[in-house]
Amino acid sequence: AQSVTQPDIHITVSEGASLELRCNYSYGATPYLFWYVQSPGQGLQLLLKYFSGDTLVQGIKGFEAEFKRSQSSFNLRKPSVHWSDAAEYFCAARGSGAGSYQLTFGKGTKLSVIP
Amino acid sequence: DSGVTQTPKHLITATGQRVTLRCSPRSGDLSVYWYQQSLDQGLQFLIHYYNGEERAKGNILERFSAQQFPDLHSELNLSSLELGDSALYFCASSGTVNTEAFFGQGTRLTVV
């Protein structure tokens, strides 16, 4: 079955520190991959996406993610975290073939930022 | 602002009742998706409509149904509500095949 795993339920970092959120996927073929962020009481905002090509993708708010086929991973990174980055982060995937447009989400990683 | 509008933002209702959640997709988007977010199940795909036709079903209960109208807005109908149906329901829309989905702010449903 297709699945997305985010191993870390909760991560706490100090403001200004670097951040890496882990995501692993299990799909028959390389899926399309996404990272979304959800602030309390808010909807899901797309941070970045990977369809094909360059394995290092840049997103909004200074985030980037690296696709590693050999590790079935798509980890999210930020070099310097700001207090406003505190939120819940979701990795998602969908098939790249026709008729497979719905997203499968990981359970999410909650990020806390210490001032 | 994603351009996807969901109404209402909050809904409180009693068990056994029926409610309708509404979604207006981004201008020009033909696909509408519904997702349910709960503490125990996380984000789960419910159903996908494309230009008025149902395209895929996920973990959607038989008590739930959806439709997409000619103007492309969509409604999710939840009936015979149970306490366990309390959740955040998201609508998302997308354009062509290789485009990302944009999410609305969600409707928080509380069943009491």
Output the pLDDT for position A29.
84
Name every chain A residue with its beta carbon within 8 A of the beta carbon of B97. 98, 101
Distance between CA atoms of residues A81 and A68, nearest Å = 23
Lowest mean per-residue pLDDT among A91-100, B15-24, B43-52: A91-100
Mean pLDDT of A56-75: 96
Q: What φ, ψ does residue A83 adopt, rounded to 5°?
A: -55, -30
Mean pLDDT of A72-84: 97
pLDDT band at B2 (very low <50, low <70, confident <90, very high): confident
* B39 φψ region: left (φ > 0), alpha (ψ -120 to 50), beta (else): alpha
User: B26: which DSSP letter?
Assistant: P
Output the pLDDT for position A37.
97
pLDDT band at A42 (very low <50, low <70, confident <90, very high): confident
Output the pLDDT for position A74.
98
Tokens coding A115: 């001032």
pLDDT band at B98 (very low <50, low <70, confident <90, very high): low
Output the pLDDT for position B34.
97
Output the pLDDT for position A30.
84
Distance between CA atoms of residues A82 and A87, nearest Å = 11
Q: Looking at chain A, which residue has its C-alpha nearest residue B2? A: A45
Q: Is there a contact between A97 and B96 (Cβ–Cβ < 8 Å)? A: no
What are residue B43's DSSP bridge partners? B37
The answer for residues whose C-beta is within 8 angstroms of residue A94's C-beta and 6 or more apart is: A31, A32, A34, A100, A101, A102, A103, A104
The answer for residues whose C-beta is within 8 angstroms of residue B102's C-beta and 6 or more apart is: A46, B2, B3, B4, B26, B29, B92, B93, B94
**CA A78 remoteness from chain centre:** 11
Q: Contact B45/A108, CB-based, under 8 Å? A: no
Tokens coding A36: 């979304």
pLDDT at residue A48 is higher than 70: yes
Beta strands in chain A (DSSP E): 3-5, 10-14, 19-21, 24-26, 32-38, 44-50, 56-58, 64-68, 73-78, 87-94, 104-105, 109-114
How many CA atoms within 13 Å lie on the side-chain side of A113? 16
Selecting from A32, A45, A101 the residue whose C-beta is nearest the C-beta of B31 gives A101
Mean pLDDT of B28-40: 94
User: B41: which DSSP letter?
Assistant: T
Chain A residues whose C-beta sits inside 8 Å of any chain B C-beta: 32, 34, 36, 42-46, 49, 51, 90, 92, 98-108
pLDDT digits (tens, 9 = 90+) for A22-36: 999 998 888 999 999
Average pLDDT over all residues of chain A: 94
Q: Contact A43/B100, CB-based, under 8 Å? A: no
Q: Looking at chain B, which residue has its C-alpha nearest residue A107? A: B42
